[in-house]
Amino acid sequence: MTRSVNPYPVGLDLEGRRVVVIGGGSVAQRRVPVLLESGAAVHLVSPDITPTLQGLVDAGRLRWEAREYHTGDLDGAWYVVAATKNSLVNARVAAEAEQNRTFCVRADAVNSGSATTPAVIRRDEMVVAVLTGDRARTVEARDIVAKALTDAGVQAPGVDEQLRGTVALVGGGPGADDLLTVRGRRLLSSADVVVVDRLAPQRPLSELRSDVEIIDAAKIPYGRSMAQEAINQVLVDRALAGKFVVRLKGGDSFLYGRGYEEAQACAEAGVPCTVVPGVSSALSVPALAGIPVTNRGMTHEVTIVSGHLPPGHPGSLVQWDALARLRGTIVVLMGVKNTPKIAEALINGGRAADTPAAVIADGSLEDEVSYRCTLGNLAETISTHDVRPPAIVVVGDVAGLSQATVAGKP
């Protein structure tokens, strides 16, 4: 039912409450991370979902039923998001929600649901929500408010015409949205197109203009992924079409992020490309867990190594026996699956089995967890605690230092 809207502004406490999202595309990808951050128990219904949403499912963050919407799916829900590409299905969802007296947002028809998602500006702990009866006017009003905040000392979204036809490779940091750099957030707010991985901070996507194209290039370890060549082509094609493209990924683009390949593809196509370094998870995640990768008088070198290929693999470029003979800190990225063989290779190469070690999963996020152990029982620790990517392994005496910092966000 379409109607004129004079919305009543309200904040919803969704902590522990059932929220149903129908649809698993780009709109759901924008909404679900914010719902999860609010503490909602999200139930997703869709035949297919994006790789980023798949990563949240695999991490146990939400429940997914891989099927079409059925009447009765909204039973017990406090809040509903109808976000399929089929307007008839969205209308059915909204009708059932109306019958159940459950507030429902329709992504395809802003005035046809019983609730409206506002345009949001976030500044640290402050959230500013803007509502009007028209989506374009809402975004315009949001940008005006954001500019006012900028004039007061905070950056605001806006499109710099000089950026059109260019690409920015933005390192998003270890995952927490407040660890995205100031420059990275500023460029993201100006983007026409965002090509994003699942390990990049997700909440800033909900703050983008409604006309921004979000392309999910999520790479899930040992799962489906968007081929790098296709990613390169998307960056080039959108930029040549006059768009400002932000390639947003976790960590730092030039540390196992294939950023140089993307920069090279842009250069070959004549597309200007800039790089915004990110806070690397190799250094920041151990730090957040209270582990310094160096410590005076203890270690003089840090080696960051990719563990995506096991020792002995014909494609591996790592000399594990030489690495084992070093005395400093070893930080292993992308190595959860191959940790047993990596630990074995390091011990066989001369590293003592009682060398302190640690594994940190979901670094910087609310679900961050770390386990201290030794090189000898590292594989057992990962198995016992069912550690899954993203996780980082630290090997060296620094992993045995006592906790001197407060875990979690300040």
Please check whether residue 54 is in contact with residue 80, taking contact to mean a CB–CB distance below 8 angstroms.
Answer: no
- Residue found by looking up tokens 């082509």 in the block: 233
Q: Report whether 305 contacts 323 (CB < 8 A).
A: yes
**Residues 6 or more apart whose Cβ sits within 8 Å of residue 21:** 28, 31, 32, 35, 42, 43, 44, 45, 46, 80, 81, 83
Q: Rounded CA gap, 109 and 90, in Å? A: 9
Bridge partners (DSSP) of residue 91 are none
Catalytic residues: 197, 219
Question: From the centroid of its chain, how far is CA 356?
Answer: 30
The span from the CA of 140 to the CA of 84, in Å, is: 25
Torsion (CA) 27, 57, 191, 172 in degrees, nearest 10 = 160
Distance CA 292, CA 273 (A): 33
Residue 270 φ/ψ region, left for φ over 0, alpha for ψ in the -120 to 50 degree band, beta for the rest: left
